[in-house]
Amino acid sequence: MPTALGDLAQRLGLDPDSPVLAVALTHSSHVAEHGGTSNERLEFLGDAVVDLAVADHLVREHPTLDEGQASLVRSRTVSEAALAAAASRLALGSCLRVGRGERKTGGLARPSLLADAFEAVVAALYLERGYEAARAFVRDALEPELARALAAPNRADPKSRLRQWAETSGRGIPVYEVTMTGPSHDPTYHATVRVAGDVAGRGRGRSKKAAESAAARAAWTGRDDA
């Protein structure tokens, strides 16, 4: 048993031979080459659990935050970069099963892959040990990111900042359109954001979230009241 997997399993309080944990650590590129089940469905579940765990913590432990501040803090704490940083501290890259192509192109260091794996692992913990265990793990694993976000609770990420501006100025909610180019193991995402029906910004990134953030940043820079 690899040390990294043993350490991770101990941190989670799970059996290192847990079938659910094995799925959480299996990327779709590995499934494409060897068969089995990828972590994509667990990632979907984990995304919701992480969001809830962070919101739960903010409501319980930081009652002075208003709704808007709590929303901004949560958004920054559960961003792709934040989840990828937590995954790196947990050495998830050493535990993941990926395909040869993904490994050759440095996929194990890709923020989107690491962030997705973090969410999948949280889902595995939730399914195996329940919500309270998952909530405590998320709180501890994201503590550095949470502390930074709480230190500046009014600071918004690009998408939140653009949405606030668009809504308060009567332009409605920004709408994102995302396309993908390149091979599935090394994709590039291209995002366009429309505000009040007009193209406001474009961006690209190695994940959908990164591309949308880049588009939002471009839209914010080019807004008509800047």
pLDDT in tens, 15-46: 999 999 999 999 988 898 899 999 999 999 99
Residue 116 annotated as catalytic: no
The correct CATH number of 3-154 out of 3.10.129.10, 1.10.1520.10, 3.40.640.10, 3.40.50.10490 is 1.10.1520.10
**Domain 159-221, second-level architecture:** 2-Layer Sandwich (3.30)
pLDDT tens per residue across span 29-88? 889 889 999 999 999 999 999 999 999 999 999 999 888 889 889 988 998 889 999 999
Residue 43 annotated as catalytic: no
Three-class DSSP category at 38: coil
Strand segments (E) across the chain: 175-181, 188-195, 198-205
Q: Identify the active-site residue in 80, 119, 157, 212.
A: 119
Burial 14-26 (b: 16+ CB within 10 A, else e): bebebebbbbbbb
Q: Which residues belong to CATH 1.10.1520.10 in the chain?
A: 3-154
pLDDT tens per residue across span 93-148? 899 998 887 788 777 788 889 999 999 999 999 999 999 999 999 999 999 999 99
Please report how many Cα atoms fall inside a 13 Å half-sphere around the Cα of residue 138, on the Cβ side.
33
Q: Which amino acid is at 21?
A: L
Please tell me the pTM assigned to this model. Answer: 0.76
Bridge partners of residue 26, in order along the sequence: 97
Three-class DSSP category at 13: coil
Q: Identify the active-site residue in 43, 47, 80, 128.
A: 47
